[in-house]
Amino acid sequence: MKNIYLNIYKPNSINLKKAKQNIENNNVIGIPTETVYGLAGNAYSYQAIKKIYVLKKRPKKNPLIIHYDNIKKLKKDAFINPGFLKLYKKFCPGPLTFILKKRKDSKICSLANGNLNTLAVRFPSHSTTKKILKKLNFPLAMPSANKSSALSPISALDVIDEFGKSINFIIDGGKSKIGLESTVINLVENIKITRPGAISKKELVKVLGKKISTVKKINKIYSPGMLKKHYSPGIPVTLNCKTASNKDAFIVFGKKYKKGKNIFNLSYKGDLKEAAKNLYKTMRKIKNLNFKKIKVVKIPNRNIGIAINDRLLKASNK
């Protein structure tokens, strides 16, 4: 019998070396991060970046996040500023992406940042990702390892669920701890949050000591990647429901809901962090169980609940 898991590798030293070789040969591979799994390629290589866009069927105007393991490497590609340093000290490595001004002499392939004069950069905290980055003398462009507009993967098996055999090397680093993509903060000119995540606006304001606005509407200039429909399980999703028929998958939150074959509780104990971790996993499960519709209860809009609601809203867009 054919082993469908042949392309999943444990993060031991031999396999991390293979990961490095794959990346140096311009292959793109699946690797874990604390937020979601990423599709990693050499950010300086046109060939690797092109592969990422083709595999994901991603619109060319939607730029990628560039991942680093230290500031020294970042300084070759982007200009840092005092706000960046404050946030970096407090939250990095971790689930925070910064939009900074790109250096003209940066070697980042311009396809990776959609030909913009800005760069999205992140320092992931997952130990496996850090080890891989440390071995390389270039940064990694790494979008979430899913097809454009589909659900993000939070495990190595999810990457296979998205790409099948077309990704032939995936490092299994366990389930992503956070389960939702990083918060994106734009530090060029007016400070803005363009994607909510585990690190909340409140925490960012506290550290920056400045007001921050949140970009709700799709805005060409600030975040070309804020596609209206995103994070989609491929079936209709309806929000703020109180009930659902037995035929529909019903995503609930908290202990007041009964158990049932069609009922999927994001967190029985009403913990928003747990709910965030379970969101994509639950939607992927529902999709694979062939439900035709998803109904979701109202999720509290505080802390990481804001990021959960952002993803649910985009999943519900037609």
Report in angstroms how near the CB of residue 65 gets to ligand TXA at its nearest: 5
Closest-CB residue for ligand TXA? 225
CA dihedral 103, 105, 108, 114 (to 10 degrees): 60
- 241-246 long-range contacts (CB < 8 A, ≥24 apart) are 241/295, 241/296, 241/297, 242/297, 243/295, 244/295
CA distance 44 to 35: 23
CA distance 49 to 212: 32
Report in angstroms how near the CB of residue 309 gets to ligand TXA at its nearest: 17
Binding segment toward ligand TXA, per CB under 6 A, in 6-14, 62-70, 130-138, 163-171:
62-70
Binder of Mg ion out of 144, 176, 194, 309 (CB under 5 A): 144
97 binds, among ligand TXA, Mg ion, none (CB under 5 to 8 A by kind): ligand TXA
CA distance 24 to 140: 11
Q: Is the Cβ of residue 8 or residue 199 nearer to ligand TXA in the bound state?
A: 199
Q: Which amino acid is at 110?
A: S
Q: Is the Cβ of residue 83 or residue 224 nearer to ligand TXA in the bound state?
A: 224
Using CB atoms within 10 Å of the CB of residue 103, give its burial: 0 to 12 exposed, 13 to 18 middle, 19+ buried: middle
Report in angstroms how near the CB of residue 86 gets to ligand TXA at its nearest: 20
How many residues form the binding site for Mg ion (CB under 5 A)?
1
42 binds ligand TXA (CB under 6 A): no
Residues 168-207 that bind ligand TXA (CB under 6 A): 181-182, 184, 194-195
Residue 57, Cβ neighbours under 10 Å: how many?
10
Binding site for ligand TXA (CB under 6 A): 33, 35-36, 38, 62-65, 97, 99, 113, 116, 118-120, 122, 124, 142-144, 181-182, 184, 194-195, 223-226
